Structure 1
Amino acid sequence: MKPVLVLGAGPVGQTAALLLARWGLPVLMLDAREKRDMVGSKAICQQRDVLDVWETVGAGAEIARRGVTWTTARTFHGDRELFSFAFTDRGRSPFPPFVNISQCETERILDEKIAGNPLIEVRWATAVSTITQDDEGVTVNGTIDGSYAVACPGARGDLIRDQLGVSFDGESFDDHFLICDIRTDLPGWQRERRFYFDPEWNPGRQVLIHPCPDDTFRIDWQVPPTFDIAKEDLDGRIRLVIGDRPYELLWQSVYRFHSRIADRMRVGRVLLAGDAAHLVSPFGARGLNSGVLDAENAAWKIAFVAHGWAPESLLASYHDERHAAAAENLAVTGATMRFLVPPTERDARRRREILAKAAVDPSARSQVDSGRLAEPFWYVDSPLTTPDPHRPFPGRPARGDVPVPAPGILVPDCPIGTSRLRAKARNGIMVLVGDDAEMPVLHNEKVESHRMSDPELREALGAEPGEIWLLRPDAHVAAVVRSAHEVEPALNRMLNKPEVKQ
């Protein structure tokens, strides 16, 4: 069997490679760099459901253990706290809402898993110059053959997008952001994210502070387009935040943020993932977290097609689902950036009014946008999802909350027998049958049926008597039906099988 080519060895590529191998597919991972760059915090904030994906390849618990757990997000205006919120778990996940850990450490842990997997080969110093494909597979650089490809070279994926004829439209923001990793002692700050609007130590702009392992903190300052780090008094800037205490500067960088999306995320046998397909500002930690969910979506669909468990048409749904997810992330982060960097004086005045009102009026606090934190995309409008009129999607929930389980929603995790619901769901396709419902007969080797005999499982789902729940291989709910004969049509829809004309 030809290997699946993974183009790019960052965390999205690493995730794709490990998940494809988990499905029994050989993988060849290519990266243009001579070796891994182990410098700087980069993407630090890993969301609970992403840790859960990594746990399917044996890495989630280790990443959580080595990281710093935080459960509270605080937002300030000047030196006054406006509000804080914690995070909802409708089930009983083994993971915290968020873990902060440097991208370098995440990559190190994933590399350890890759090194121990005989199905994965990694080639460094292999830049992609050409991509061609036909009905039999994908060829890179004229000589490297694969069955399919997941392209995740990161933000600098211009050549690959050009080869595929993919555009990457969007905007770039004028303001820059200075990032410093420091090691110091900040009592009381080790377990919470802090966001400051207009603090006296960065007037007119914002500062974001995240705790990291080993007594380190990451500080992000919004700075003007004219900012020159070579002329900056970094020590003075840092001391305005932490005071007169010893610290060690570990890393510094300046970023300009972009908001861009590929017009196509699937071109034949090549699927685009991560920053190569979408760029968003980091407020809300939606970049890497979304990229990992791209990788999971791509991996199970490629595997089901490659093994003959689903038709080739299933791959078309990768663009449908993950492009919609990227568009949602751009909308959310774009609104945040417009609140952080008002494009007009009218917008700036409105922001000042909202921040002033939020200090005394709790009803105004929902309008304060310091970044809606990462969450899975809800595939309620996916062509793979069978709608349930009894469970209409109520729309985006409040910050920190999650939707009630329904078709298109990621199922809450909870114990099921000696395992966990999401772990069992991610082994294939799961059918959960109410005790008073008829057990369906299905002819697909990747389908497992279970009775919903555990009251804790029924409570987590909000399952009603007589219901049958169909779960996808990425643990999202594909359908909730009320008779056994409705399951097979929902399964065919979940696999994007063409309708059979009677």
Structure 2
Amino acid sequence: MEPVIVVGAGPVGLALALALARHEVPSVLLETGDGEAPARPARTCVLRPDTAALAQRLAGPAELPGTHWRVWRTLRRRQCLDQEDFAPGDAPFHLPQHSLTGALTAAVRRSGLVDFVPGRRLTELEQHDSGVRARTSGGLGVAWSGSYLVGCDGARSTVRKLLGVRFPGRTSVERRAVAALRVPLPWPDEALLHRDPPGGGEVSARSLPGGLWRLDWRLPPRGDLVTPEDLLRRIGSTLAAWSEEAGPQDGSPAYDLLDTGVHTAHQRLARRWRCGRAFLAGDAARLLGALGTQSVDEGLRDADNLAWKLAVAWHGGDGAAADALLDTYESERRGVSVARLRALDQALPLVQGGSALRSLLPGGRGPLGLLTDGHAGRGPLGAPGAYAASPLTSPALPGLAVAAELGRPAADVPVTVPGGERQPLRGRLGRRLLVVLVAPGTGVWESRHWRNAGVMPQLAAAVRELPLPAELLVAEAYPGAEAHSVLLVRPDGHLAAALPGVDAAELHASAMRLAGGDGADLRA
């Protein structure tokens, strides 16, 4: 088959091309710009632990330059009202967006399966029964042929416009003045939200490596332009309120101002995310960003969800099963976005000053609790979406506590491959299905003692017969799972099935759902 055409080389397009390469699917990555990410320290992104692990897997061996927060603290006036202490491995990861884009771009340039073509603007898009054709301007203005096409080209998506997909929603629901500073604040590796500080308003501070901080001040959704003088006044008064040492002039500590900007959050949702062989992902498909929600994080989840499904269709050929599987990209990812945007609609009036909707919000959360949820990655505003109702998720079997987690991201437990290698489960994601046997006690023995004992030979034989490429792993324990439970994890890390033991027929049926359900053998 012809390669997948990816339009847009932002974080989402780069991640999708790299994820496809991990599934041995070639792609052509078209980018309007020159392929270089300009440094903008005030433009940052927060990744949840699973998407941070995804970005690291795709970027390669070099560590991404960011900060894992140890603490998120919520203040009102001079009182700490809420504090989230993150355990190792569960902390949000904060990094400059240009650093993420640069690392992913470097990985794309190293890949032999991604044809990266900067300086090309999409002008035409056609679909036919077996593929797509795209034409670009710039250079020779050539035409490109592909098996599928994915628009990752941002809020003003050309792909979305060429497909005629509507993009309804709300404009300017939240506006923030942003500054990136190098300043000695007393909370290394932390982040905080301060509401009603001395001087009033709302400001957040989020740490970055090297003594850098991103500060955000909430502004009215519509209002006057933020002048340089106004921004300097905000910086001075905020730092003075936080510092115990007064500066020589305005009471604030010395700082280096690196970058500024005004960030406006919109809420929009594309009517369709799939049109035949063309798909939308990232900001081309949905816009959010208010109350701590993270658009790059959601876009990376889009790429991870779509990549393995395109790979199954690409390797297995066209057919009803592949078509049904690709349909689940829209139902799963758009469904999660609908829930996220609905939660934002409910929360915004309360957070921005109203109180009438408190009874409608989950748990009766107050404004500061909702803000903490969004930033800390929990609750309807921040927690990763689940696909419990997806046709790819097997029905829950009675008596399994872990079945309540079906459709959610799998826990990052230590796992061992039959050859003896041991690592976190997230390190095995992104290439094939994972079949995890929960077997307490195996960690104290070398794998040669247990890989041919007990239920392992039977399970290994069942895994070899699955309709999709799969890897067998062993875990000492898994939250909510009894000994000898068998878990099936999708390539994007979501728990698809939980079985009380080795049942080859049930395991095969669960894998068949992930293959589209027609009985075809799609092993690469």
TM-score, normalised to structure 1, is 0.84
User: Match for 1:242 among 239, 255, 276?
Assistant: 239
- Is 2:472 aligned against 1:450? yes
Q: What does 1:86-125 align with in structure 2 at a 5 Å threshold?
A: 86-87=85-86, 95=89, 97-125=91-119
Instruction: Map 1:288-299 onto structure 2 (within 5 A).
Output: 288-299=296-307
What is the aligned partner in structure 1 of residue 442 from structure 2?
A: none
- Alpha-carbon separation, structure 2, partners of 1:44 and 1:301: 26
2:99 is the alignment partner of 1:133: no
Alignment of 1:13-28 (within 5 A): 13-28=13-28
- Give the share of equivalent positions with the same residue, in percent: 28
Say if 1:193 and 1:211, in contact at 8 Å, map to a contact too: yes
Q: Is the 8 A contact 1:150 1:298 kept in 2?
A: no
**Letter of the structure 2 residue corresponding to residue 238 of structure 1:** I
How far is the alpha carbon of 1:331 from its aligned partner?
2.6
Q: Give 3-state SS (helix, strand or coil) of 1:73's partner.
A: strand
Q: Which runs of 5+ in 1 are unaligned?
A: 90-94, 355-361, 394-402
Q: Which amino acid aligns with 1:144?
A: W
C-alpha separation in 2, matches of 1:198 and 1:60: 43
Q: Distance in 1 between matches of 2:75 and 2:368?
A: 14
**Aligned residues of 2:72 and 2:84 also touching (Cα < 8 A):** yes
Deviation, structure 1 residue 392 = 8.5
1:468 aligns with 2:486: yes
Decide whether aligned partners of structure 1 residues 137 and 43 sit closer, same or farther in structure 2, where only a CA change above 3 A counts: farther
Q: Distance in 2 between matches of 1:222 and 1:391?
A: 48
Which string of whole-angstrom CA distances, capped at 9 and with x for unpartnered residues, describes residues 464-499 of structure 1?
245322221112211112433212221111222248
Aligned partner of residue 216 in structure 2, secondary structure: strand
Deviation at 1:125, TM superposition (A): 1.9
Q: What are the equivalent positions in structure 2 for 1:321-360 lying under 5 Å apart?
A: 321-342=332-353, 347=356
How far apart in 2 are the matches of 1:480 and 1:314? 20
Aligned to 1:314: 325
2:305 counterpart letter in structure 1? N
Which of 223, 227, 230 is the equivalent residue of 1:230? 227
2:132 alignment partner AA: V
> Are the equivalent residues in 2 in contact too, given 1:72–1:85 (CA < 8 A)?
yes
Tell me whether 1:163 sits opposite 2:162 in the alignment: yes
Compared with structure 1, are the counterparts of its residues 265 and 364 closer, same or farther at alpha carbon in structure 2 (3 Å cutoff)? closer
Residue 368 (str. 1) matches residue 369 (str. 2): yes
Moved more, 238-247 or 276-285: 276-285
Take 2:62 and 2:399, find their aligned partners in 1: how far apart are those partners?
Answer: 33
CA contact (8 A) 1:257 1:281 kept: yes
Distance in 2 between residues matched to 1:262 and 1:101, nearest whole Å: 28
1:146 aligns to what? 146
1:252 is matched with 260
Q: Which residue of the other structure, out of 375, 387, 391, is the alignment partner of 1:383?
A: 391
RMSD: 2.9
The one-letter code matched in structure 1 to 2:191 is R
Matched residue of 1:311: which SS? helix
How has the CA–CA distance of structure 1 residues 178 and 27 changed in structure 2, closer, same or farther, with 3 Å as cutoff? same
Is it true that 1:277 corresponds to 2:285 in the alignment? yes
1:62-97 deviation per Cα after TM superposition (whole angstroms, max 9, x unaligned): 11xx212212111111222111012467xxxxx451
Change in Cα spacing, 1:384 to 1:488, as seen in structure 2 (3 Å) is: same
For residues 40-79 of structure 1, give each alpha carbon's deviation from its aligned partner in whole angstroms, at most 9, with x where no partner exists: 232321221012112332448611xx21221211111122
What is the TM-score when the length of structure 2 is the normalising length?
0.81
Aligned equivalent of 1:480: 498
Contact 1:281 1:333 in 2 (8 A): no
Residue 206 of structure 1 is matched in structure 2 by: 202
Aligned pair partner of 2:188 in 169, 184, 190: 190
Residues 335 and 468 from structure 1, CA distance in 2 versus in 1: closer, same or farther, beyond 3 angstroms?
A: same
In 2, Cα distance between the equivalents of 1:415 and 1:161? 41
Counterparts in 2 of 1:367 and 1:35: CA distance versus 1, 3 Å: closer
